[in-house]
Structure 1
Amino acid sequence: MPDLMSENHIGPLISSFLVDGVGTLGFVALSGVALLARVRKRAEARAAEATFDGEKPLVAGEAVLFGKVERAEGSDTTVRVEVDQEGEESESSGVWSHKWTEKKRRVFVAPFYLRLASGDRVRIEPRDDVFLVDEMDGLVRVDLKARIRYAELTPGERVYAAGVLSRAPDPEAQPAAGYRTGGEGYVLRPPRSGRMLLSSQPLGERFHERARFHGRWAMWIALTALAFHIMFLGYHIRRWAGTDTTATIRKLDHYVTESDDTITHHYRVWLSTRDELVVNDEVEEEDFAWMHEGQILPVRLVEGQLASNTTIGGHLTVHHLAWSVVPLLLGAWLIYRVRERSTRPWYEREVVDEGKGKLEETLEAEKKRSRPPQT
Structure 2
Amino acid sequence: MSDLMSENHVGPVISSLLVDGVGTLGFLALLGVALYARARKRAEARSAEASFDGAKPLVPGAAVLFGEVERAEGAETAVRVEVDQAGEDHETSGSWSHKWTEKGRRVLVEPFYLRLGSGDRVRVEPRDDVFLVDEMDGVIRVDLKTRVRYAELTPGERVYASGTLSRAQDPESPPAAGYRSGREGFVLRPPRGGRMLLSSQPLGERFLERARFHGRWAKWILLCAFVFHALVLGFHLRRWAGTDTTAPIVRLHHYTTRSEDSVVDHYMVWMSPREGVLVRDHVDEGDFAWMQEGQPVRLRLMEAPFEKRTTIGPHLTVHVFAWSVVPLLVGAWLVYRLRERATRPWYERPVVDSGGGKLEATYEAEKARSQDRKSA
TM-score (norm 2): 0.97
Q: How many angstroms apart in 2 are the aligned matches of 1:181 and 1:321?
A: 80
Alpha-carbon spacing, 1:178–1:256, altered in 2? closer, same or farther (3 Å): closer
8 Å contact from structure 2 (residues 169, 181) kept in 1: no
Residue 304 of structure 1: SS of its match in structure 2? coil
Residue 337 of structure 2: SS of its match in structure 1? helix
* Aligned position for 1:352: 352
Q: What's the CA shift for 1:261?
A: 3.5
* Aligned position for 1:271: 271
Deviations 1:314-363 (A, max 9, x none): 00000001101000000000000000000000000000111111111111
Q: How many angstroms apart in 2 are the aligned matches of 1:239 and 1:373?
A: 71
8 Å contact from structure 1 (residues 171, 182) kept in 2: no
* Aligned position for 1:112: 112
Alpha-carbon spacing, 1:43–1:373, altered in 2? closer, same or farther (3 Å): farther
* Aligned position for 1:59: 59
Q: Residue type matched to 1:98 in 2?
A: H
Q: What's the CA shift for 1:277?
A: 1.7
8 Å contact from structure 1 (residues 84, 103) kept in 2: yes
* Aligned position for 2:283: 283
Q: How many angstroms apart in 1 are the aligned matches of 2:138 and 2:104?
A: 16
Q: Residue type matched to 2:356 in 1?
A: K
Q: Residue type matched to 2:242 in 1?
A: G
Q: What's the CA shift for 1:123?
A: 0.3
Deviations 1:127-160 (A, max 9, x none): 0000000000000111111000000000000000
8 Å contact from structure 1 (residues 172, 182) kept in 2: no
Alpha-carbon spacing, 1:43–1:298, altered in 2? closer, same or farther (3 Å): same
**Alignment map for 1:61-80 (pairs within 5 Å):** 61-80=61-80
**Alignment map for 1:242-257 (pairs within 5 Å):** 242-257=242-257
Residue 344 of structure 1: SS of its match in structure 2? coil
TM-score (norm 1): 0.97
- Indicate yes or no: 2:18 matched with 1:3: no
**Alignment map for 1:331-342 (pairs within 5 Å):** 331-342=331-342
Q: Residue type matched to 2:111 in 1?
A: P
Of the structure 1 ranges 162-171 and 173-182, higher mean CA displacement relative to structure 2 is found in: 173-182
* Aligned position for 2:34: 34
8 Å contact from structure 1 (residues 76, 374) kept in 2: no
Q: How many angstroms apart in 1 are the aligned matches of 2:368 and 2:261?
A: 59
* Aligned position for 2:100: 100
- Structure 2 unaligned residues grouped into runs of 5+: none
Deviations 1:199-240 (A, max 9, x none): 000000000000000010011001100000001111101001
* Aligned position for 2:298: 298
8 Å contact from structure 1 (residues 243, 301) kept in 2: yes
* Aligned position for 2:177: 177
Q: What's the CA shift for 1:25?
A: 0.4
Q: How many angstroms apart in 2 are the aligned matches of 1:232 and 1:104?
A: 50
Residue 214 of structure 1: SS of its match in structure 2? helix
8 Å contact from structure 2 (residues 54, 65) kept in 1: yes
Q: How many angstroms apart in 2 are the aligned matches of 1:230 and 1:339?
A: 26
Q: Residue type matched to 1:15 in 2?
A: S
Deviations 1:232-288 (A, max 9, x none): 111101001101111110011111122343322111110001354210001101111
Alpha-carbon spacing, 1:373–1:189, altered in 2? closer, same or farther (3 Å): farther
Q: How many residues align?
A: 375
Q: How many angstroms apart in 2 are the aligned matches of 1:182 and 1:268?
A: 100
* Aligned position for 1:149: 149
Of the structure 1 ranges 260-269 and 310-319, higher mean CA displacement relative to structure 2 is found in: 260-269
Of the structure 1 ranges 118-127 and 263-272, higher mean CA displacement relative to structure 2 is found in: 263-272
Q: What's the CA shift for 1:179?
A: 8.2
Q: Residue type matched to 2:4 in 1?
A: L
Identity of aligned residues (%): 73
Alpha-carbon spacing, 1:17–1:373, altered in 2? closer, same or farther (3 Å): farther
